[in-house]
A and B are shown apart, each in its own frame.
Chain A
């Protein structure tokens, strides 16, 4: 009797002195990657700017000051005396305000596209890998086929068709209203942004699903899955409680790289004139507009171009850092 009492008295810390929180380990390993850490700060900064866009921006992004176009950075307006920190664009809109609101739109597009394509990709990949057989054959052939077609031209064609006929794709009014609240845009402009998110998602989930399928194929043969099945767990339980959490590490890395890639793709679409169009500010269409005037006003393209570059670079570093941090086999 006394012996069992003694066992109970042992503190958990003494029993397992080395026990560490999983999240804590990952955070520690991640912070050893110096550039990834710096990049994370940059990314968080961009997120904060986009969240507080209405507080940071001195003016509305579509407010035109007549007769004061191409004002140089730091110059003050002659009429109002207001300082334009980054100057004004070709029709006299405050460049800083547009840049800040553009951050909000670009971030929303990238985040929404990443979330939806990851969810779709994980689900399709898990189903395809778990069930195998005919379902898998059809799904993976479809994904492979879609991936043989070069993505950028296809993306451009689909987005051009959708932009010309925005009513082709029925989008529930609820979603438009919700997104317009997030992006602080009138509903007419929101539709375009939602279409671009849909196009990005439609081609973005393919790679994630291939990745997930591979993970599930490997996990399916593991003993803990067999044990779960022996205990009477059904397929959905096994997929979502055993497969998905175990496949999470590469999916998270993939998603963080995708965040950067979607940002660039959206900017590229808008830059080529087949993405989000002018009154709505995005980094891509600001850059496209600035390109026409860069010989006289060379700072114009630099201002929206740099955030696109840093966005892409930061997420590549963050993804790199996460890959190292999440791989338990890798000694740092």
Chain B
């Protein structure tokens, strides 16, 4: 078990390292970046931006450093100065970038002019990195600076303000899916081929096919627009808290920003997030239960004269839940994907909407940070699943 865990952790680091490289490459090979808007401003001539300004901004976004140095600074926050060993500093004048490149307009063979970097006016050495703002490194939870959304502020600040909202949504949806999905699956397996089973199977099939964004809109149309229109108790739509007090028939006045307001606004997004899980999970539990109920040990339990409830809950269900574990654990990172759509539909200020807003404004550091977090979650979910398997099923040994 210990050697297995050590190997797994090693593998995980490898996977994470690779996804870090992949996301960094994607980020850097994408043309544009924070300087694109700068050149646009320069060309429009409304504001005067000197070469020094450009150099300063380039240094701010670390664009003056060569790619490998930029990458290690992004990943682990090093190098942040010359190599210090025993009070002595080494490699102080190693050139790691260029603060002011000399650019020349070159006319290519096809007659188009292109800007080419032909030399360097002012070089950046390792020694000059000292005193610069250095990120602690993505591996240690520092995702650098946002390009657009919160200019110059750390991405982690942005995520920290959004994270509680997503957590609130997800934990509620997760609990609801388990509370509804499990009993539904068990009941319809026990009553196989009954009318309930038939209706349930069709409904869960439809639920799985329903695109979340359309389901969300249908909910808003019914609970937010229709019920409001006919004067029945309705649900408020959009955002996590309101800005204006409102009155719901039969319920009374709701203060904007109160807990009730927040909870009321949570109902619909949670229902949408849970719907997908309930449909999928209950179908899975049903199939798994049906398989286990055919096993010999269930027949033995019945033959012993145990009452049906005990047979189902203690003998069948516990074994049926083992394969279900995979799905439940992997739902944690998967829900983030669901949250992207759901939060956008309901305008919920969580990480999913942050992701879409960041992409819409080409703020790639924010988007990459969120992608990286989901990748980390997935990797940990894999480990968690394997370890949990050994806990619930003693037949499984990790070697």
Contact = CB atoms under 8 A, between A and B. Distances in A.
B32 A308 contact: no
Contact of A164 (B32, B334, B356): B32
A149 interface: yes
A287 interface: yes
Interface in B6-58: 15, 18-19, 22, 26, 30-32
A272 B344 contact: yes
Contacts, number: 122
A294 B208 contact: no
A260 interface: yes
B221 interface: yes
A150 B375 contact: yes
A116 interface: no
B375 A156 contact: no
Interface stretch (A87-95, A98-106, A297-305): A297-305
B211 A156 contact: no
B267 interface: no
Interface residues of B, number: 46
A176 interface: no
Interface string B358-399: 011010100110110011001100100000000000000000
Contacts of A165: 30-32
Given A145-B15, A291-B345, A150 B336 contact: yes
A308 B341 CA distance: 15
B323 interface: no
A148 B378 CA distance: 7
B337 interface: yes
Q: Which of A153, A160, A301 has its CB near the most chain B CB atoms (within 10 A)? A: A153
Interface in B167-206: 205-206
A164 B341 CA distance: 21
A260 B336 CA distance: 22
B374 A153 contact: yes
A298 B225 contact: yes
B91 interface: no
A274 interface: yes
A309 B218 CA distance: 11
Nearest to A267: B211
Given A273-B360, A316-B205, A305 B214 contact: yes
A212 to B, nearest CB: 23
B213 interface: yes
Interface residues of A, number: 39
B106 to A, nearest CB: 19
Main secondary structure on chain A at its contact with chain B? helix
A317 B201 CA distance: 12
Contact of A153 (B32, B211, B370): B370
Nearest to B361: A160
A313 B209 contact: yes
B146 to A, nearest CB: 15
B180 to A, nearest CB: 21
Contacts of A268: 211, 213, 341
Contact of A150 (B214, B356, B368, B378): B378
27 contacts: A145-B15, A145-B19, A149-B374, A150-B333, A151-B337, A160-B359, A160-B367, A164-B30, A164-B362, A267-B213, A271-B213, A272-B340, A272-B356, A274-B356, A287-B217, A294-B221, A295-B225, A298-B225, A298-B226, A301-B214, A301-B221, A305-B217, A308-B211, A313-B210, A316-B205, A316-B209, A320-B205
Given A148-B379, A305-B218, A313-B210, 19 more contacts: A145-B15, A148-B378, A150-B336, A152-B340, A153-B355, A153-B367, A153-B374, A161-B26, A165-B31, A264-B211, A271-B341, A274-B356, A274-B359, A287-B213, A298-B225, A302-B221, A309-B214, A312-B209, A320-B205
